[in-house]
Structure 1
Amino acid sequence: MKLKNFYVKPVVPDSLQPLYEVSYNMWSTWDKEAERLYRRINPELFRNVKHNPVEFLHRLSSEDMDKLSKDNGFLYELNKVYDKFKRYMSFEGYYTDENGDDIPTHSDDIIAYFSMEFGMHESVAIYSGGLGVLAGDYLKAASDTGIPLYGIGLLYTYGYMNQRIAIDGFQQEEYLENKWYLKAVKETTDANGEPLIFPMKIKGHNVWIKIWEIDVGKIKLYLLDTNIPQNDISARCITDHLYIADKHLRIQQEIILGQGGLKALDLLGIKPKVFHLNEGHSAFLIVERLKQLVLDHKMPFEKAKQLIKQSTVFTTHTPVIEGNEHFDESFIREYFKEDVEALGMTMERFLQCGKVDNSRIFWLPIFAIKYSKFRNGVSKLHGDVSKEMWKDVFPHLHDDEVPIDFVTNGVHLQTWLSMEITYLFDRYLGPDYMHKANRTTLWDGISAIPSNEIWEAHKRRKEQLVTFIRKKLVHTLQRRGAPAKKIKKASNALNPQYLTIGFARRFATYKRANLLLQDPERLKKILTNPLRPVQIIFAGKAHPADVAGKTIIKDILNFAIQNDLEDHIVFVEDYDMDIARHMIQGVDVWLNNPIKPMEASGTSGIKAGINGVLNLSVLDGWWPECFNGTNGWAITAGDFYSDITLKSSAEAQQIYDLLEEEITEKYYEKRDSYFPE
C-alpha cells in the first residue's frame, strides 16, 4: 500500500484575505504593527510557531477564522496594517549621487545578489550565522530603499543544525526537516502556472532544479532545490544541508548556486547589470557567464572576461585564510573538464584563475577577485586584513595599492530595533527614517528623545528578556527530564535589576567565549558582589566538527554548576534570530572579545548599539570606526602582545578591572536616583 502526503490549504474568509497576503511576505516578520496583530489573535500560538505568520494561519481553527472575520475591532486593525503594507510596497526608490541629489532608481538597473545562506527570520532556517543574517538584512534594506535587486540562494531540506546540550554539557546536533509548505515560500511558476524546473549538467549528468521564491518586502529571493522527484537519490540530497562537510556535495551545491543561479535568472527573463557575490561560494557563476558570452554570443575570451569584471562585485567576509572556500585542484578537474574544454582553455590555464602559487589549492575568493571590478571587506580593519591576505593576487602592486576596499556592514533597523525603541523612533523621528536613513539630518532627532524614556524602554525590554530566558531554560530542562527542584530554580534564574552582560555568537575558539574564565575566583567575586551583582547570558553554536568550540560551551556550563552560579551565568540552547533579538535588545552590556583582527565585522554589536546597549569590545571589526571613548568600552590591553597567552591574560584582566571599577559603578550609581549616567 502506498501512502501519499497531501497539503490542505486553509480556507480563508474574504475579509481576512489581506491577512493572508501580508503573511506570505517577509515584511510581516519585521513590521511591528503586523507583529502586534498576530499577537492580538493568539499570543501563545504565535510564540509556539516561532513567530511564523504562515504556520500561524494554518494552525488557527476554522472557528477562530470565522470569529476573526466578524470582529470589527480586529478588521479595523487589519486594514490599518494592510494599508501600511500597500504604501510600503508602492514606495519608489532612489539613490543619492556624489552631489547629494536624489536620483530615482530605474527598474532596468538590476542587481543579482548571490549568497549561500540568507537569515531573514528564525522560521526560515536557511542560515547558520552572521554571513546569512547580513544577507537577509541586505535584501530587507534593498526593499526599504527601493533598489531593484534579486536574491539567489538554495532551498535546504534541513538547513543548518539545531543545537541540543546534553546532560554532560556537550553540544549535540539535531537536524529537523524544513516544512516549506508552512512557510512564506511559494513555487515559482511559468506563464501557464506550471512550476519552473530546469536541468543542468554536473559531470555530464542531468540534475533537475526547481525554483522557489520568497517575497522579502519588494524584493524577490529565488531559491534552488534539487529535492524533487525528477532526480535520483544522489541528486536529491545535494541541497539537504547548509555547509555540508562532504566536499563533493559542497562543490555540487556551489555549482548549482553559481551556474544554476544564472540559468534560473535567464529562465525568469531577469537581466542583471551587476552581479554581487556574497563570499566566494557562488564564484562558479563566472564560469557560466563565460560560457554564455563566449559560446552563445561568440565574444572573444578576453573581451568576455573584461565585461564580467566590469559588472561583478565581490564581498569577502572571512579574515581567516582556512575559512575561505577552496578545493583541491582534482575537484576542479573532475567537475569542470567539459566546461573548460568548451571554452577552448587548457585546464592548467583555468586552474590559475584560482591560484597564486604552484600549490594544488583552487581558491574561490581568488577566482572571484580576479573576475570582479570592486572587491570589499566588511569593515575598515577587515579591508586591510583582506589586502594582506590576498596581496599575492597582485604581485606587481605595493601592499597599500591592492584593490580591495571596504564597506562596513550595517543592520536592518526594523528587524533589530525593539518594539519599545521603534515607538520612540516613530514618535521623535517620524516614519521617514525607514526609507531615508542616508540623510544624516534625520538622525538629529535622536538627541531630542528624553533619557528617561530611553531608560524606561530599556527596562521593559530587559524584563521581557529575563522572562524569555527563564522559559527557555525551563523548556530545556523539562525536555531532559530534570528534577522539579532544578526546574523551579531555573524558573527564577536572572534578576532584571542586575547588570546584565550578553555574549552570543558562533563558538569558535578565536571568539574566546571563555576569556572571562581566566581568573575564576575574581569572576565569581564580580558576579556575586552583594552591592553590585552581575549576570551573564551566553548563547551560540559550535560547528558540528569543532570539538574545541564544543568544549568551551561545556567549560562555561561546568563553571556555573561547580561554583553554584547558575542564577548568574546561563547558557541559552539553540541560538537563533529570536534569541538574538531578545538578547541584543535587553542586555545592558554587549561583550565581544575575539582575537584581533579575526572579527571581520561583528554586526551583533551594532544591533545592540541601536537599542541603546553599550559595547565592551576589542577594537576589531566595526567597533574601531564607532568607538569614541564615551559610547562604550574598548578592550586594548592585549594589543601589544603577540603571544596569545599573554594577550588573553592582559585582556581578561582589563575586562575584570572595567567591570569592578567602572561599568558596575556607572550602572548602579543612578543619576537623580533614577537611571545610570
Structure 2
Amino acid sequence: MKERLKFIDFYVKPTLPENLKKLEELSQNLWSTWNPEAYQLFNRIDPKLFRKYNHNPVKLLQQVSKERLAQLSRDKGFLYEMNSVYNKFQNYLKFVGHYSDTKDKRREFANDFQVAYFSMEYGLHESLPIYSGGLGVLSGDHLKAASDLGIPLIAFGLLYRYGYFSQKINLNDMQEEIYEENEWFSKPIKKLQDDNGKDLIFAIKLRDEEIFMQAWKIEVGKIPLYLLDTNIPQNKNKYRNITDYLYVADKEMRILQEIVFAFGSIKLIKILKLNPTVYHLNEGHSAFLIIERLKNLIADSGFNFEQASEIIRKSTVFTTHTPVAAGNEKFDPKLTEFYLGSEIQSFGHSFENFRKLAKIEGDEGFSLPALAIRFSKYVNGVSQLHCKVSKKMWHSIYPQIYREEMPIKAITNGVHLQSWISHRMTSLFDRYMGSDYRHHADAKAIWENIFSIPDNEIWEAHQERKEQMISFIRDRFQESLIHKSGGEGIKRINEILNHNYLTIGFARRFAPYKRATLILEDKERLLKILNNEEQPVQFIFAGKAHPADEKGKEMIKQLIDFARDNKVEDRFVFVENYDMNVARHLVQGVDVWLNNPKKPLEASGTSGMKAGMNGVLNFSVPDGWWPECFNGENGWSIISGENITDDEIRNKLEANEIYEKLENEIIPLFYQQNQNGIPENWVKMMKRAIYDVGKNFNMHRVLKEYLNEFYLPGAQEVTYISKDDFANLKKLEQTKTELAKHWQKIKFLDVSIDSPENMVLQSGEVLNLTVKIDIDGLSE
C-alpha cells in the first residue's frame, strides 16, 4: 500500500518597504475600516483591488504588486498622507476615557474597572463574515463605541470557520447557500501566543473529555476581541467542527457551541489574568457562563451557593433582544443534563433543583434567558416598547411583583456613526459641525448645526451617494449575470435603476414577520406607482433567509418573480448576497427606508437609524425604535394596523396605507422641486431626520447609558461586597436569611395618609404617609 502524500500549507508574508511599515500596523486594527481618512489611504493604493477584496486592508497589502509598493514608497504625497493617518491613529489609541460622577465632575476610570462583553456574533466589517444580522452588527458597533469613549472593555466570541453563508439566487429564483472557508491569514486577526511565543491553546473538560481551543484576537480600536476556535488537530473529529458554522440548527451541536463559548471564555479570562468587574451577556447564548462562574466561585474561592449567586447577580448585565418567548434560546432538559449535569453537581446542586432557575411558566425547556435574568441585577430591553413587551413576557419569573415593576430597563439601541455615515456626508458634517460629533455624538447641541447646511449641498451629497449606490448595484448584477448565464443580458445592465427616480429601500433578514412582500398585496396598484412616467418610483430589496426558513426563501422568489413577470426588473430590484457592504450602500443611497414588520415583533431595528443618519426618510410601522423618533417631520408612520390581530385584515389595511401615503404624500413631496431641481421641503425633512436620529440614536449615547445605569453601579456593588474579605457579602447573606425566616409573618397593620384638600396635589408638594408594620420581631 502506497503511503499517502502529506501536504503542508505555507503562508508567504509579503515584505513592505521600510518606509511603508506603518501600513501593516494600520491594516491590523479595525479602526482603519471605520475611519474615513484611513479608508481613503488604503483605497489610494489600488481602488480596484481594494473593492475586489471587500475593502480588506490586510488582503490588499498581500496582493498589491511589488512595483506599486515601490512606487508608493517614493511618493511623497502618499507618505505624507500615511504619516498623517498614522498619527491620528496613535492619538486615538492614547485617548484616556472618562465619565461624569454624580456631581457632574469628570473622572477617569479606576484601574481595576473592566467590563467583559459576550456575544455569539460580531458584525465588524464585511471582510470578517462572523455575523448573520442585526444582533452581530449591534455587537460590533458596541465595541467600536466603547473604543471611541475609552471604556475599559474586553470582548469574547467564537471564530467560525465558515461563518454565515454567501447567498446566490439560482435560475429558479430561489436562494442557495454557499459556505466558503475563511482564510484567517488574510484578515485583520491574529493568533494569541503564550509566554513562550507558541500558539495559545487550552482545553475545557466536559463529561470527562477535553475540548481544545485556539485563542485569536482582533483589535477593534482600543478594544481587544478574543475569539475561540475548536478547528485544531488536538481535538477529536466530533469536536473540531463545533465552531464551523454560526447558529447551527442541530441542537446538540448548538449546546456544545454555547458551552465552549461560555466555559472557554471564562477559562481564557483566567489564563490572561484578566479580572473583569462586570460581565455583560448580549442575549441568552452566553448564559452558560453563569454555571462556570458558579463552579469557579464555589470550588476555587470557597463561597457557598448563595454567596456566589449574589456576586454573580451584582456583577452581571443581561440584554435581551427577542420579543417572542418561542424565539429565545432553550434546550431540552435531558440534553442539558447530559452535558452539564455533572458540572452543576460539582457545586452541590442536583440538576432538577438547579433547572428551576432556568424555567418559565408553561415551558419545560431549559431557558437560557430565564437563567440569565435570575442571575442578573441589571437587565434591559433594546427599546421602550420592547422593554414593555419583555416585562410581560418574563413576568412569570417574578410573579409576586407588579408587571410594571419587573426589574427590566429600556436602553434603546443606537449605531456607530463613523461606520455608517457616508464619507461624502461625513465631509459635509465636518465642515458645518466640526469633527467633535465623531467623538461626542451624544452631545445634542452639536447636531443643531445640521440646519445651517445649505439645501443644495446636502442634496448634492445625497445624490452623489445615490449614484454610487446604483453603480455598485449594477456591478453586482454584472457579476451575477456572468456567473449564471455567461454574460447574457449585460447590455441591459445600465438600464437598471435611475438616480433621478424616487428610490425606496428594504434590506434586512428575510424572516416572515418582517413581511418583505407586503408591498405586493395589490400588484396592480403597485405597478401604477412603478410605471408612473411623470413621477417614477423604484424599489431595491436585499436580505438573506435563514437556510431552514422556506417561507423566507419563498418571499425572495415572489419579489423576483413579480419584477420579471411584469417587466419591471429595471426598477424593482433584488440585490444578491446581503452583507454589511450592501447595507452601507443602501442606507446611504436610497431616498426612503421602508420597514413593515408585524408589531410588536421588532425589538428595536437599527437599519432605519443608519438610514436616518444619512438623510434617508423612514417609512415604518411604529415598532421598535421608531415610536421614540417619529414626530411627523422626519418620516412617515404606518398606523392603520394598530390593535388589529387578524393578519389578513392587518396586511390589507397596512398595504393600503403604504400605497396611499406613497401616492398622496411621499411621491408628490419628492418631485416638488424648485428651479434648481432641489426638493426644498424634502430636504427640510432630511435635515430633521439627521438631527433627530443623530443626536438620539448614536452608539455613544447607548454606551453612556450602559455605563451610568449598569456598568459603574455594578462595579461599585462588587467593590462594596468585596471589602474586608467580603464582610458585607456575608452580612447581606445573613440579612436575607433573617428576612426569609420572618417573611410570611410580616404584615401591614395600618396605612394612613394626610389627605390634601379635595385630594389634589400641587407639583412639588409633599404627601405624608404613615405605615404601621408588624415585623415579627425582626431586628431593624
Q: How does the TM-score come out when normalised to structure 2? A: 0.86
| Structure-to-structure mapping, 1:597-676, within 5 angstroms | 597-676=600-679
- How far has the Cα of 1:99 moved from its partner? 4.1
CA distance in 2, matches of 1:124, 1:64: 26
Identical aligned residues as a percent? 53
2:478 touches 2:487 (CA, 8 Å); kept in 1?
no
- Please give the alpha-carbon distance, in whole angstroms, between the structure 1 residues aligned to 2:524 and 2:541: 19
Within 2, Cα distance between the matches of 1:446 and 1:34? 25
* 1:296 lines up with 2:296 in the alignment: no
Please give the residue correspondences for 1:227-266 in structure 2 after superposition, counting only pairs within 5 Å: 227-266=231-270
Structure with greater Cα Rg? 2
> Are residue 502 (structure 1) and residue 475 (structure 2) matched?
no
Shift of 1:358: 6.4
Equivalents in 1 of 2:646, 2:105: separation in Å?
51
| Closer/same/farther in 2, CA of residues 209 and 654 from structure 1, 3 Å limit | same
2:591 equivalent among 571, 577, 588: 588
CA contact (8 A) 1:202 1:252 kept: no
Shift of 1:38: 1.4
2:415 to 398, 411, 418: 411
Check whether the contact 2:422–2:614 (CA below 8 A) recurs between aligned residues. yes
What secondary structure is seen at the aligned counterpart in 1 of 2:620? strand
Structure 1 contact 471–491 (Cα < 8 Å) conserved:
no
Matches within 5 A, 1:276-287: 276-287=280-291
Separation (CA, whole Å) in 2 of partners of 1:647 and 1:310: 44
The number of aligned residues is: 676
Q: Which residue of 2 aligns with 1:46?
A: 50
Name the residue aligned to 1:345. Answer: 349
One-letter identity of the residue aligned with 1:638: G
8 Å Cα contact 2:501/2:538 also seen in 1 = yes
Report SS of the residue matched to 1:600: coil
Kindly state the Cα deviation for residue 64 of structure 1 after the two structures are TM-superposed: 1.9
Equivalent position of 2:113 in the other structure: 109
User: Do residues 199 (structure 1) and 203 (structure 2) align?
Assistant: yes
Asked whether the 8 Å contact 1:210–1:225 carries over to 2, the reply is yes
Is the counterpart of residue 30 in structure 1 residue 34 in structure 2? yes
What is the identity, as a one-letter code, of the residue corresponding to 1:481?
S
Map Cα deviations across residues 411-454 of structure 1 (whole Å, 9 max, x no partner). 00000000011101211222222222232222222222222211
Which aligned pairs between 1:390-539 and structure 2 lie closer than 5 A?
A: 390-481=394-485, 484=488, 486-539=489-542
State the Cα distance separating 1:310 from its structure 2 match: 0.2
> What is the CA distance between 1:102 and its match in structure 2?
2.7
Instruction: Say if 1:473 and 1:491, in contact at 8 Å, map to a contact too.
Output: no
Cα distance, 1:402 vs. partner?
Answer: 1.1
Which among 275, 280, 284 is matched to residue 279 of structure 2? 275
1:167 aligns with 2:179: no
1:110 and 1:149 in contact (8 A); partners too? yes
Q: Report Cα offsets for 1:380-407 as digits up to 9, x if no partner.
A: 0011111111110111011111111110
TM-score by length of 1: 0.98
Specify the SS of the correspondent of 1:210: strand
Structure-1 separation of matches of 2:65 and 2:487: 35
Indicate yes or no: 2:329 matched with 1:325.
yes
Residues 482-515 of structure 1 show CA distances to partners (whole Å, capped at 9, x for unaligned) of 552x222233200000000000000011000000
RMSD: 1.1
SS at match of 1:536: strand
Choose which of 167, 182, 189 in structure 2 pairs with 1:178.
Answer: 182
Q: Is 1:560 aligned to 2:558, yes or no?
A: no
The Cα offsets for residues 22-57 of structure 1, whole Å up to 9 and x where unpaired, read as: 000001111111111111111000000000000010
Query: How far 1:75 sits from its partner (Å)?
Result: 0.6
Q: Which moved more, 1:578-587 or 1:424-433?
A: 424-433
Task: Identify the residue that residue 60 of structure 2 maps to in structure 1.
Answer: 56
Q: Hey, what's the Cα distance between the residues in 2 that align with 1:451 and 1:96? A: 37
Structure 1: where are the runs of 5+ without partners? Answer: none
Residue 568 of structure 1 aligns to which amino acid in structure 2? R
1:131-189 deviations in Å (ceiling 9; x for gaps): 00000000000000000001100000001111111111111110000000000010111
**Cα offsets for 1:285-330 (capped at 9, x unmatched):** 1011101111100101101101100000000111122221110101
CA offset at residue 644 of structure 1? 0.8
Read off the aligned partner of 1:376 and give its amino acid letter: N
Q: Unmatched 5+ residue regions in structure 2?
A: 682-780
Deviation, 1:673, is 3.9
Moved more, 314-323 or 458-467: 314-323
Equivalent residue of 2:194, what SS? coil
Deviation per residue, 1:613-642 (Å, 9 max, x gap): 000000001000000111000000111311
Question: CA shift at 1:68, angstroms?
Answer: 1.4
Stretch of structure 1 that moved more, 191-200 or 212-221: 191-200
Trace 1:358-377 onto structure 2 (pairs within 5 A).
Answer: 359-377=363-381
Q: Is the 8 A contact 2:263 2:288 kept in 1?
A: yes
Does the residue aligned with 1:550 lie in a helix, a strand or coil? helix
Partner of 1:312: 316
What is the distance in 1 between the residues matched to 2:671 and 2:630?
23
After superposition, give the CA deviation of every residue in 1:105-143 in whole Å (9 maximum; x if it has no partner). 234210000000000000001000000000000000000
SS at match of 1:277: strand
Partners of 1:534 and 1:568 within 8 A in 2 = yes
8 Å CA contact retained: 2:283, 2:369? yes
User: Is the CA contact 1:605–1:615 (under 8 Å) kept in the aligned structure 2?
Assistant: yes
* Residues 257-277 of structure 1: CA deviation (Å, up to 9, x unaligned): 111111111111111000000
Q: CA deviation at 1:540?
A: 0.1
Distance in 2 separating the partners of 1:449 and 1:172: 45
Conservation of the 8 A alpha-carbon contact between 2:341 and 2:350: no
| Structure 2 CA distance for partners of 1:383 and 1:113, relative to 1, 3 Å | same
